[in-house]
Structure 1
């Protein structure tokens, strides 16, 4: 019996690895290999004036650390991450809770929430360019209705970061929602039934049951 169980487990694991293999190949070719290649090239000087890359050690990193443009870009990336990640996760969780409810249109709601994720980035850029365009964009038209002046959202240093953050949140929240929906399927319905029997309100159920049990998904 032990040998049969062991053979069955090996067979099951082999089948799982066969299913994963195509994705792992693409992940290795288009994600891990470029990362490793980039790290390797960072120790070399490679430009049009040199036929063969010249090993220079950490000189590229020393130059980068003293580059004012790099400092600005690095700070902008920190602000961008701080603005997109928490808000995207919070919005995705709210969308997942709403989409997970027993609604007749549940499938339609999930599709609508996830749809921005599958739109190509070039199309996303054009959609939001229409929203942000000075004078003719949707935001400026709304501002004109309430008596406010026009704003160059993508051409003003104080607004361009927030404009980009809003666009990325709109595109990525649906992707994170899928993970939360998957995590909710693993939460025992008995917990919700017990809370309902005790007369616990919806907000308290979310704080005491749903959110804590979705922490592994949030960390992922």
Structure 2
């Protein structure tokens, strides 16, 4: 009696159906919690804010026009650009230095690595409360140090000239240990023979880093850079505890401004427009980094 065999086309169709069924739960979550909210936000940005029992009406680009004429929005943009310009190079540079250090053989290397990584695992609210004690006028840790040096007392978080810089220090302290892990993992994948060959040739440590290690770390740097840019524009937790955007919006960042518009003033239409602009800007930066810089970071 002949044995029935499935055709190659039938087998490939079954595998395709099986693969899509395995992907279905992830696709449902992705559509439900990412794609649909993004589309709904885009639609809401062209509508007015619902008031009471009255639904929002189509207003076209009015929310975006209001954004152009909003001085607080432009203050938040300037603050966020300054914040990103400070936190991105500082956190990446500090992470690289720490990774190079703890990658060497040294006494207590495990404890040093743990100390560097500890700020990353701490909750953001807890970190903000720790640094709030440091910055507290008169009896904070920073005030104790400045008083020993004979310097005058200062309200670090209440001064428009220093509030944003204080938030920047907290962000760098929190993120550097996280980025260090990626650099450390990349350093440990490098071939040890490269270092041995450089030592035989008499290359200095700086020359070896500049000519060998740094080019090989460029893919990792690109990945860290994308994350650093995103983190610089999504900080909001620290501001709740440290400054609440003050004084006089001196430390207001884009995401905190978006939160205030949407949940404090309950202007959901304008908040949706702010969200669209922020998402488009971050997506554009990420695409440029991956499709332009990615071609230049792989060392051959």
Of residues 133, 143, 155 in structure 1, which corresponds to 2:158?
155
* Secondary structure in 2 matching 1:158: coil
**Does residue 124 of structure 2 align to residue 121 of structure 1?**
yes
**1:54 is aligned to 2:61:** no
Q: CA shift at 1:207, angstroms?
A: 1.1
Which residue is 1:214 aligned to?
217
Task: Provide, for residues 49-96 of structure 1, a one-character-per-residue CA deviation record: whole Å limited to 9, x for no partner.
Answer: 463232222211111011111111111010010010010000000011
- Could you tell me how far apart the structure 1 residues matched to 2:116 and 2:24 are? 30
- Aligned pairs for 1:45-194 (under 5 A) are 45-49=48-52, 51-194=54-197
Instruction: State TM-score, norm by structure 1.
Output: 0.83
Tell me the TM-score normalized by structure 2. Answer: 0.62
Shift in alpha-carbon separation, 1:207–1:122, aligned structure 2, 3 A: same
SS of residue matched to 1:143: helix
CA contact (8 A) 2:103 2:188 kept: no
> Following the alignment from structure 1 to structure 2, what is the Cα–Cα distance between the partners of residues 162 and 219?
25
Aligned partners of 1:81 and 1:22: how far apart in 2? Answer: 36
Structure 2 vs 1, CA of residues 149 and 86 (structure 1 numbering), >3 Å: closer, same or farther? same
Please give the alpha-carbon distance, in whole angstroms, between the structure 1 residues aligned to 2:103 and 2:25.
31
Q: Deviations over 1:176-211 (max 9, x none)?
A: 111111221332222111001112111111111111
Which range moved further: 27-36 or 174-183? 27-36
- What stretches of structure 1 of length at least 5 have no aligned partner? 1-6
> Matched residue of 2:116: which SS?
helix
- Compared with structure 1, are the counterparts of its residues 29 and 167 closer, same or farther at alpha carbon in structure 2 (3 Å cutoff)? farther
Cα distance 1:140–1:98, how it changes in 2: closer, same or farther (>3 A)?
same
Q: Tell me: higher relative CO, structure 1 or 2? Use CA pairs within 8 A at least 6 residues apart.
A: 2
- Please report the RMSD computed on the Cα atoms of aligned residues, expressed in angstroms: 2.6
In structure 2, what is the Cα distance between the partners aligned to 1:138 and 1:129? 10
**Corresponding residue SS for 1:45:** coil
Unaligned runs of 5+ in 2: 1-11, 224-300
